């Protein structure tokens, strides 16, 4: 399997993206912002289709559009769940409207549109791998810098604000990181299945870990395992890679919740 250059590139890209998705996804689930990740994925499709129309690589359209949307969401909806969801909904509605317009002119590129929606990891070349690595490294570095105050603002926002932590600043910075992670995940599983790498492993890790540090490491580990196992399964079965990754992500989440369900049943029986 690894005798082929395209498979080596696919494994490298999947590993890089999965590490970033697992780390960012843990904080995304912890902060209750999974809807933001879902919205940014759809925003990314708009950016990618717009980029192709003007002759730019889809990845850069994904990055630019999701980054702008992420910062916008953080700036508008930093206070309260209701206000935040309204801000995300507004950005999502606007992006989908633009996406519909771009699709009107995008019909000649049906295969590229399908790749954007569902991913095409086997088409990643060495140059793209290096670009993904650079984006992931910068995102993880920024996440490490803001990690402690972000955790404080996530768990105790009122106290953090009283201590001088700017909720709006860290919301914007974090959603900018989510935007970059979303753009990278779209290269692997497509914009419709970003949840597979960004939310599934993180949700499973939170069920199994007791500390934040252990949860972040476990989330990234699960994401890498699911991505690589999905690639191997796709190679030997000729089924879509995105299907295998999403199936493994769902299975891992269900298995992670099995011990809790068993304990609940035993307590109910007693």
**pLDDT digit of tens for each residue in the chain (270 aa)?**
888 888 898 899 889 988 998 999 899 888 887 777 777 777 777 777 777 777 777 778 778 887 887 777 766 655 555 566 666 677 677 777 776 677 667 665 555 555 666 667 777 888 888 988 998 899 899 999 988 888 888 888 788 778 887 777 888 888 888 888 887 777 777 666 677 788 889 989 988 888 888 999 999 999 999 999 999 998 999 888 888 888 898 888 888 876 655 554 554 555
CA distance 261 to 136: 36
Instruction: Decide if 106 is inside a domain.
Output: yes
158: domain CATH number is 1.10.3470.10
Residue 259 has a pLDDT of 62
pLDDT of residue 173: 85
CB under 8 Å to 236, separation ≥6 — which residues? Answer: 1
The answer to whether residues 245 and 227 touch, using CB atoms and an 8 Å cutoff, is yes
In a domain, 182, yes or no: yes
Three-class SS of residue 221?
Answer: helix
In a domain, 93, yes or no: yes
- Domain residues for the domain of 81 are 5-192
- Asked if residue 226 belongs to a domain, the reply is no
Examine residue 214 and state whether it is found in any structural domain, yes or no: no
The number of distinct structural domains making up the chain is: 1
Query: What's the pLDDT score for residue 115?
Result: 62
Question: Residue 171's pLDDT is what?
Answer: 81
**Any domain includes 219:** no
**The pLDDT value given to residue 267:** 46
> How far is CA 205 from its chain centroid?
15
126 is a domain residue: yes
88 within a domain of the structure (yes/no) = yes
Angle at 9 between CA 4 and CA 12, to 5 degrees: 130
């Amino acid at each position: 399997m690894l005798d082929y250059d395209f498979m080596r590139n696919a494994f490298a890209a999947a590993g890089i993206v999965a590490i970033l998705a697992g780390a960012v996804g843990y904080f995304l689930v912890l902060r209750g912002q999974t809807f933001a990740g879902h919205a940014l994925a759809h925003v990314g499709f708009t950016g990618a289709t717009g980029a192709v129309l003007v002759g730019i690589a889809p990845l850069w359209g994904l990055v630019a559009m999701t980054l702008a949307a992420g910062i916008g969401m953080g700036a508008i909806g930093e206070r309260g769940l209701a206000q935040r969801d309204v801000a995300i909904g507004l950005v999502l509605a606007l992006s989908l409207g633009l996406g519909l317009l771009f699709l009107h002119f995008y019909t000649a590129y049906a295969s590229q549109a399908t790749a954007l929606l569902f991913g095409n990891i086997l088409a990643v070349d060495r140059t793209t791998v290096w670009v993904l690595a650079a984006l992931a490294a910068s995102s993880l570095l920024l996440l490490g810098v803001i990690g402690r105050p972000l955790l404080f603002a996530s768990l105790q926002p009122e106290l953090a604000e009283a201590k001088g932590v700017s909720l709006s600043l860290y919301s914007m910075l974090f959603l900018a990181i989510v935007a970059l992670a979303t753009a990278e995940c779209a290269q692997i599983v497509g914009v419709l299945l970003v949840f597979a790498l960004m939310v599934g492993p993180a949700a499973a890790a939170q069920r199994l870990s007791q500390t934040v540090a252990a949860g972040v490491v476990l989330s990234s580990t699960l994401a890498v395992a699911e991505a690589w196992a999905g690639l191997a399964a796709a190679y030997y079965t000729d089924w879509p890679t995105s299907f295998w990754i999403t199936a493994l992500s769902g299975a891992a989440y269900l298995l992670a919740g099995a011990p809790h369900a068993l304990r609940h049943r035993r307590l109910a029986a007693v």
